């Protein structure tokens, strides 16, 4: 009984000592492993940096078995990728600028909302001659030159209206912006019996076309473009054909109206491929 009582404390002390020794060994092992790992990291970092301190990186990358080969290879790939992206942006910008200079209507800046497709192309319409003469043989208004053409076709054949209205021969703008406006009229002048004399037959007759704009803030239509032709014909011909075409860029606002006048509306040949009028939004 005395022996058993004395061996109990000794066994507990031995177990405590064993646990302490195991803890010390684990601690020393972890500290040593951490120190070794840090040493390896520092060595790798120093070796990686030392690979970049050489005077000729190209010669290092040429030797595939060299320890610095992987470092320099990754560096070259990174440089090539960066330069490729940089030159691609420069080339794209240069091409866009050049195309924009030559064809400004094609290259547009990116916008949050797409540019609306606004366009109209109206053509000649073969309405009865009495209706034409009754509606267009009068001047288009005070301080407006020529006679207004009011019998344009906006739906059939080659004609179309896209977000633009056609009212009384006038195109009504729905979106503000810069528009390309164009017009062509084809004159078919029939010679009367009174013009068979030499004096009149040798004389030219001017044919003019005008494009006007109406705005809500100004009472008088504004002349945008005009063009003129002097028609001359031989004495033996029954009629003569002459065309007048013009176009240009103009800023327009919502509610502006465009219309065409000519010196002699009854002489206009209203074939859809010969006489037409239109506008489309550029920007």
CATH number at residue 244: 2.60.120.40
Q: Indicate whether 109 belongs to any domain.
A: no
Q: What are phi and psi of 86, to 5 degrees?
A: -65, -45
Q: What's the burial of 73, exposed, middle or buried (CB within 10 Å: 0-12/13-18/19+)?
A: middle
Give the whole-angstrom CA distance, residue 166 versus residue 159: 11
My answer on whether 49 and 180 are in the same domain is no
Q: Indicate whether 131 belongs to any domain.
A: yes
The structural domain count of the chain equals 2
Residue from 244, 243, 252 nearest 224 by CA: 252
My answer on whether 176 and 72 are in the same domain is no
**pLDDT of the residue at 164:** 96
Give the whole-angstrom CA distance, residue 1 versus residue 185: 134
Q: What are phi and psi of 59, to 5 degrees?
A: -70, -30
Give the whole-angstrom CA distance, residue 70 versus residue 44: 12
The DSSP call for residue 225 is E
My answer on whether 172 and 45 are in the same domain is no
Tell which phi-psi region holds residue 146, choosing left (phi > 0), alpha (psi between -120 and 50) or beta: left
Domain boundary residue, one of 47, 77, 107? 77
Domain boundary residue, one of 25, 47, 77? 77
| 99-127 residues labelled b (16+ CB within 10 A) or e (exposed) | eeeeeeeeeeeeeeeeeeebbbbbbbbee
My answer on whether 167 and 272 are in the same domain is yes
The DSSP call for residue 204 is -
CA 235 distance to own-chain centroid: 53
My answer on whether 124 and 73 are in the same domain is no
**pLDDT of the residue at 5:** 56
Q: Indicate whether 209 belongs to any domain.
A: yes
My answer on whether 56 and 159 are in the same domain is no
Give the whole-angstrom CA distance, residue 180 versus residue 135: 28
My answer on whether 67 and 124 are in the same domain is no
Query: What is the reported pTM?
Result: 0.54
Taking CA atoms, 132 is separated from 138, 172, 264, in Å, by 10, 21, 12
Q: Indicate whether 93 belongs to any domain.
A: no
My answer on whether 243 and 133 are in the same domain is yes
42-101 pLDDT, tens digit each? 666 555 555 656 545 555 445 555 666 676 777 778 887 887 777 777 777 777 676 666
My answer on whether 234 and 165 are in the same domain is yes
Low-confidence stretches of the chain (pLDDT beneath 70)? 1-6, 41-69, 71, 96, 98-115, 127-142, 189-205, 230-240
Domain boundary residue, one of 77, 107, 130? 77
Q: Indicate whether 47 belongs to any domain.
A: yes
Domain residues for the domain of 268 are 119-281
Q: Indicate whether 98 belongs to any domain.
A: no
**pLDDT of the residue at 40:** 72
Residue 68 labelled as part of a binding site = no
CB 178 within 8 A of CB 280: no
My answer on whether 154 and 214 are in the same domain is yes
My answer on whether 73 and 133 are in the same domain is no
Q: Which helix (H) or strand (E) holds 276?
A: strand 276-281
My answer on whether 241 and 180 are in the same domain is yes
Q: Indicate whether 216 belongs to any domain.
A: yes
Q: Is 188 helix (H, G, I), strand (E, B) or coil?
A: strand
Give the whole-angstrom CA distance, residue 144 versus residue 248: 20
R_g (Cα) of the chain, nearest Å:
44
Q: Indicate whether 40 belongs to any domain.
A: yes
């Amino acid at each position: 009984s005395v022996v058993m009582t004395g061996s109990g404390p000794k066994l507990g002390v031995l177990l405590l000592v064993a646990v302490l020794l195991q803890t010390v060994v684990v601690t020393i092992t972890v500290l040593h492993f951490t120190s070794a790992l840090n040493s390896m990291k520092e060595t790798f970092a120093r070796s990686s940096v030392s690979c970049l301190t050489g005077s000729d990186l190209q010669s290092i990358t040429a030797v595939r078995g060299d320890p610095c080969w992987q470092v320099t290879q990754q560096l070259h790939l990174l440089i090539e990728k960066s330069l490729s992206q940089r030159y691609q942006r420069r080339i794209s910008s240069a091409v866009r600028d050049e195309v924009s200079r030559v064809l400004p209507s094609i290259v547009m800046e990116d916008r949050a909302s797409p540019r609306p497709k606004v366009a109209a192309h109206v053509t000649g319409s073969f309405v009865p001659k009495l209706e034409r003469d009754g509606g267009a043989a009068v001047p288009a208004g005070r301080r407006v030159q020529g006679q207004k053409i009011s019998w344009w076709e906006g739906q059939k054949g080659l004609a179309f209206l896209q977000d633009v209205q056609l009212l009384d021969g006038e195109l009504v703008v729905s979106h503000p912006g810069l528009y390309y406006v164009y017009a062509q009229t084809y004159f078919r002048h029939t010679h009367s019996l009174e013009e068979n004399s030499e004096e009149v037959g040798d004389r030219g007759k001017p044919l003019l076309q005008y494009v006007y704009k109406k705005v809500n803030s100004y009472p008088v239509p504004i002349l945008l473009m005009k063009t003129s032709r002097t028609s001359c014909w031989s004495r033996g011909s029954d009629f003569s054909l002459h065309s007048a075409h013009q176009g240009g860029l103009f800023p327009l606002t919502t509610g502006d109206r465009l219309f065409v006048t000519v010196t002699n509306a009854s002489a206009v040949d209203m074939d859809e491929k010969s006489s037409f009028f239109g506008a489309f939004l550029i920007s």
